[in-house]
Structure 1
Amino acid sequence: MSRPASFDPETFLPDALVESIRSRAARVDAENAFPEEDLDALREAGYLRLLVPKDRGGAGLGFAQASVLQQRLAQASPATALAINMHLVWTGVAKTLRDRGIDDLAFVEEEAADGEVFAFGISEAGNDLVLFGSDTDAAPGPDGSYAFTGTKVFTSLAPVWTRLGLHGLDTTSPDAPKLVFAFVGRDERVVTRDDWDTLGMRGTQSRTTELHGVVAPAERVVRRIDPGPSADPLVFGIFASFELLLASVYTGVARRALDLAVESAHARRSKRTGLAYSQDPDIRWRIAEMALAYDALPPQLEWVGHGLDALEDHGPRWFSYLSGVKHRATATAKRVVDDAMLVAGGSSYFSRNELSRLSRDVLAGAFHPSDPESAHSTVASAWLGPLG
């Protein structure tokens, strides 16, 4: 597999910017606020244009590089990284299609370069079909437009998005049912509930979004496909971009927890032995276990990212690779954070402790698609074939 030229993450996410974002993370979490300052600083740094090609005003990075940067950002503020992820997902979908000679989402790249903020309007309460079905009504207009009515949940970037990529079900056209993917703007037909009061990842402000006939013009309707599993490149692009970038965020959380555990082990001193806990065999074993688990993640993300960038053809196995890396990243991050709290001791149980916040943030990983059940089902099918 060919590798793109190396790059310096500092160029796109300088240390000073990382530290300023980290300095605000606790306050954002405590106030259950959206990190406006983080978004402004990242926009100024060109971070929202990472995956946009250079000829359209972006940085022209690949997935492997964006993964490294999202890991780095998550070490400063998991919630900020997860919120920005949803914008990057759509620019990643546009890149996936364009790399394969399909330029249907050129407007996403152009508008992202112009400063528009894209949000992800796919999740619906109780809809375990996710990309393969929708409870949102997509009513066709005579001019090729669609009006969407329904409720989307976990809409990250809720206070600030200007473009919402979403899907709905057309049940009235002659060839119905058709699953419709489109992009809408924010107007009076979109209601954002102020209902994001969660255990962790509070800065994402992933509020519920009510759609009351909001219209996507014909030129922003990008797919009409049959419901159910699909080989359409758009579906693959969404799945690939979402899973890889999501896994990157939680890998960053794991790295930050490991670093904090190491700092704590050096700083804490045993009253019994007089030695730093970094000299305690049990603590050393625990940190080694954490490191062994964490060290497996970045190479997996690199392999998947480079595979996407190089247009490798793994056929349907791609879905097991992508859901697998997401599942391993989120499950490993949870385990590493739990162990980091044990290393740090009782002080980590106080809400003012960064590990306390990470312990809450990392819990969200299990709820993102692919959830553990879906990931295991996908991998089982890849190895055993479909259920009879």
Structure 2
Amino acid sequence: MTADTTVDSLLDDDLLSRFRDRAARYDRENAFFADDLDELAERGYLRALVPAKLGGLGWSLADVVRAQSRLATAAPATALGVNMHLVWTGVARLLHDRGDDGLDFVLEEAAAGEVFAFGISEAGNDLMLFGSGTVADPQPDGSVRYTGRKIFTSLSPAWTRLGVHGLDAASADAPKLVYGFIDREDPDVRTLDDWDTIGMRATQSRTTVLDGAVVAPDRVVRRLDPGPDPDPFVFAIFACFELFLSAVYAGLAERALALAVDAARSRTSARTGLPRSEDPSVRRRIAEAALALDGVPPQLVGLANDVADGTDHGALWFAKLSGVKVRTVQTARDVVDAAVRVAGGATYFAGNELGRLQRDVLAGVFHPSSDDAALNTIANAWLGPVQD
């Protein structure tokens, strides 16, 4: 671990250069970002949100937002994969700071080197946190067995703890959504080798099959009613997920803009003999992209500070968080599109970094919240729900 643990020193320029070189290979070979993860772990990055008194770096949510954006300028898929671990440690940190020690084991185990992954997404389940097709079967000893399939399980080759949810439809107080953490060693957990996508390939977000996998009694962390729930646990998951995810796409867009600037300066127009950076249409594209992107980081950092400080946005909280995700991803897509138009046909060739970023940024539309879900949340916040 480095002695200086500020964001810029831990994610120094040399590290980012190595990660950027590897990113091309990971994408080409459809390989997991194993070497990146090892370096990040060695430097203490996986302990970023763990309080110093528990053996971590004690970073704030805003620090992690800045760090994830910086990491994504070099390796967006690596940043996206690490996000899932950071979400769980972020949830545990927020609850810890509010006097709830129910997830302190997450912080302690992350400090000891465990890697946490996110097992929430399910095919066809647009309820996400508010529902599940996975069966949660409580056992007499207080443990819970889970049977179902989780998709988009980032960190699949490396996770040691998987946070999952499922629906208990059989108990006296049913239905209840039951959240808990499964160990990698569980024999009833299978990871399929089915990740072959057009972008974000290094995340290796494979399908996880739960065939009665057991969550121990002391790892069952919530039993909640299905549907939107005011529980701080649910809010913490939503907040950390949306903020850290948005940070990745902001960093990706920052890199795309930098590549566009380089291309504009290095390319020469055959028609005028001047650098493309002198072309008014090129200058306009870059200026518009820079103007749009400039507003994103302050929004993310500001919301991260509001979450950590407990700012009361009342009924607008979920609207703000889902809104910033949709807005950031759309901005990133617009910036990348402008960058590709500036850089020209070279981006269409395999191995071109900007071409890879164009493929990677497409993944943003598939993460929660979707555009439709976010707009529905925002409309409900401002107008109230539709009357039946």
Normalising by structure 2, what TM-score? 0.97
CA distance in 2, matches of 1:79, 1:32: 11
Alignment of 1:186-197 (within 5 A): 186=184, 187-197=186-196
Cα-to-partner distance string for 1:139-187 (whole Å, 9 max, x where unaligned):
0011111000000000000011000001001111111111000001012
Secondary structure of the 2:73 match is: helix
Aligned-pair Cα RMSD in Å: 0.9
Alignment of 1:10-29 (within 5 A): 10-29=8-27
* Deviation at residue 12 of structure 1 after TM alignment: 2.2
Secondary structure of the 2:314 match is: coil
CA distance in 2, matches of 1:200, 1:53: 34
Cα-to-partner distance string for 1:208-255 (whole Å, 9 max, x where unaligned):
000011100110000001111100111001000000000000000110
C-alpha contact (below 8 Å) 2:134/2:149 kept by paired residues: yes
C-alpha contact (below 8 Å) 2:115/2:160 kept by paired residues: yes
Corresponding letter in the other structure for 1:154: F
1:237 matched to 2:239? The reply is no
1:51 matched to 2:49? The reply is yes
Alignment of 1:328-347 (within 5 A): 328-347=327-346
Per the alignment, residue 90 of structure 1 pairs with 88
* Deviation at residue 316 of structure 1 after TM alignment: 2.3
* Deviation at residue 308 of structure 1 after TM alignment: 1.3
2:72 to 65, 71, 74: 74
CA distance in 2, matches of 1:96, 1:10: 24
CA distance in 2, matches of 1:316, 1:197: 39
Structure 1 stretch displaced more, 163-172 or 92-101: 92-101
Aligned residue pairs total: 382
Corresponding letter in the other structure for 2:7: P
Per the alignment, residue 108 of structure 1 pairs with 106
Per the alignment, residue 365 of structure 1 pairs with 364
Per the alignment, residue 177 of structure 2 pairs with 179
CA distance in 1, matches of 2:86, 2:293: 24
Per the alignment, residue 300 of structure 1 pairs with 299
Structure 1 ranges of 4+ moved more than 6 A:
none
Cα-to-partner distance string for 1:324-346 (whole Å, 9 max, x where unaligned):
11001111111111110000011
CA distance in 2, matches of 1:278, 1:68: 29
* Deviation at residue 299 of structure 1 after TM alignment: 0.8
Secondary structure of the 2:229 match is: coil
C-alpha contact (below 8 Å) 2:189/2:210 kept by paired residues: yes
* Deviation at residue 8 of structure 1 after TM alignment: 4.0
Secondary structure of the 1:103 match is: coil
CA distance in 1, matches of 2:114, 2:283: 47
CA distance in 2, matches of 1:334, 1:347: 18
1:133 to 124, 128, 131: 131
CA distance in 2, matches of 1:382, 1:61: 31
CA distance in 1, matches of 2:175, 2:383: 31
Per the alignment, residue 204 of structure 2 pairs with 205
1:166 matched to 2:125? The reply is no
Corresponding letter in the other structure for 1:373: D
C-alpha contact (below 8 Å) 2:79/2:248 kept by paired residues: yes
Secondary structure of the 1:120 match is: strand
Per the alignment, residue 38 of structure 1 pairs with 36
Unaligned runs of 5+ in 2: none
Per the alignment, residue 320 of structure 2 pairs with 321
C-alpha contact (below 8 Å) 2:28/2:351 kept by paired residues: no
Per the alignment, residue 224 of structure 1 pairs with 223
* Deviation at residue 302 of structure 1 after TM alignment: 1.1
* Deviation at residue 274 of structure 1 after TM alignment: 1.1
Unaligned runs of 5+ in 1: 1-6
CA distance in 1, matches of 2:109, 2:6: 26
Structure 1 stretch displaced more, 289-298 or 378-387: 378-387
Cα-to-partner distance string for 1:244-298 (whole Å, 9 max, x where unaligned):
0000000001100000000000000111111111111110000001001100100
* Deviation at residue 103 of structure 1 after TM alignment: 1.2
Corresponding letter in the other structure for 1:148: Y
Secondary structure of the 1:168 match is: strand
Secondary structure of the 1:316 match is: helix
CA distance in 2, matches of 1:315, 1:240: 14
Secondary structure of the 2:273 match is: coil
Cα-to-partner distance string for 1:322-367 (whole Å, 9 max, x where unaligned):
0011001111111111110000011111112101100000000000
Cα-to-partner distance string for 1:9-51 (whole Å, 9 max, x where unaligned):
2222111111111110000001001010000000001000111
Corresponding letter in the other structure for 2:72: A
